Amino acid sequence: MYESNGMTAARIWRTFDRPGRRRFGGHNQKHREYPAGKAGGEIGGFKMVTPWGPSQQMDTYAPGIISVSTASHGGIYLTKERAAKIPANVKPWTGDRQWWEEDCDWCIPYIIFADEIKNSPAAYRFQENLERARQIATRYHPEFKQ
C-alpha cells in the first residue's frame, strides 16, 4: 500500500489522513488545507494545518481573518492580502506574516482590523480584548505604532 521507508504505523497515520491525501504541516511549514470530515476546526469543509498542528476550532472574525485553535496552541491566520496590510517593520514570532500566535502576536491584526472584527459574532468581549491587545502590543511589539 504505502512504501514506509522505515516509518512506523503511527507516523504513517499522521502523514496520511486518508489514502492518497497528503497531510502537510509542522512548525516550519506553510499554511495548507486538506479535505476534512464534519469535525470542529473547519470552515467550508476544510481544516487548517497551522504552525502548531491541525486546527480544532476556527472562527472567522472577518473575510481573510481567522482565529485558529489547536490542541496545543493557536493564533490568528491572515490571507496574503490581509497580511500585506500589516506594517513591514512588525514581525510575528512564527516568521510567517500570515500567522500571528495567540500569546504575543495576535494583538497586531486584532488592532489593525478592529473595525471589521468588532462586527463579528466571533468577537466575544471585543472591547475588553481590544484594550488587552493594545497593552500586549506596547509590551511585545514596541515597533508597532498604534
Residues 10-68 have pLDDT tens digits of: 332 333 333 333 333 433 334 444 333 333 344 555 677 888 888 888 889 999 999 99
The larger pLDDT score, comparing residue 23 to residue 75, is at 75
pLDDT at residue 86 above 80? yes
Rounded CA separation 9/60 (Å): 35
The pLDDT > 70 percentage for the chain reads 68
What DSSP string describes 93-142?
A: TTS-TTEEETTTTTHHHHHHTHHHHTTSTT-TTHHHHHHHHHHHHHHH-T
Mean pLDDT taken over the chain: 75
Task: Decide: pTM greater than 0.85.
Answer: no
The C-alpha atoms of residue 85 and residue 74 are separated, in whole angstroms, by 21
CA–CA separation, 58 and 75 (whole Å): 10
pLDDT of 80 > 90? The answer is yes
Which is higher by pLDDT, 123 or 31?
Answer: 123
Report how far residue 5's alpha carbon sits from residue 97's, in angstroms, rounded to the nearest whole number: 35
The backbone torsions φ and ψ at residue 28, rounded to the nearest 5 degrees and listed phi first, read: -110, 25
